[in-house]
Amino acid sequence: MLKEINNYINDKNFKLSLYKNKLNIVNYKKLLSLEENYISVLLEKKKLIIKGSNLLLIKILDNELLIKGNIKNIEVIDE
């Protein structure tokens, strides 16, 4: 069990979890753009683009974002 906890704490890979009208992003580097219909986020070596409507940032932590709204498109671009 300690190994699983250690792996969780030291995990640096980004993770996306999509729920109904919510997107959770873990291990991001920087929030680049925040608009009602467009959000861009810098990841380790990638850029994440979220498009939709009524997009809101409802949680922001050092390494985690939670976005709520009508998410229509998610795109990951290699930088």
Residue 47 has pLDDT above 80, yes or no: yes
Domain that holds residue 14: 2-78
Q: Is this prediction's pTM over 0.75?
A: yes
Say what the pLDDT of residue 6 is.
67
Domain count, the chain: 1
Q: In this predicted model, which residue has the larger pLDDT, 79 or 18?
A: 18
> Which three-class secondary structure string do you get for 13-30?
CCEEEEECCEEEEECCCE
User: Residue 51 maps to which CATH number?
Assistant: 2.60.40.2000
**What pLDDT, on the 0 to 100 scale, is given for residue 7?**
64
Q: Longest C-alpha distance within the chain, in Å?
A: 42
Contact 55, 35 (CB under 8 A): yes
Predicted confidence (pLDDT) per residue in 30-44, tens digit: 999 999 999 999 998
% of the chain residues with pLDDT over 70: 91
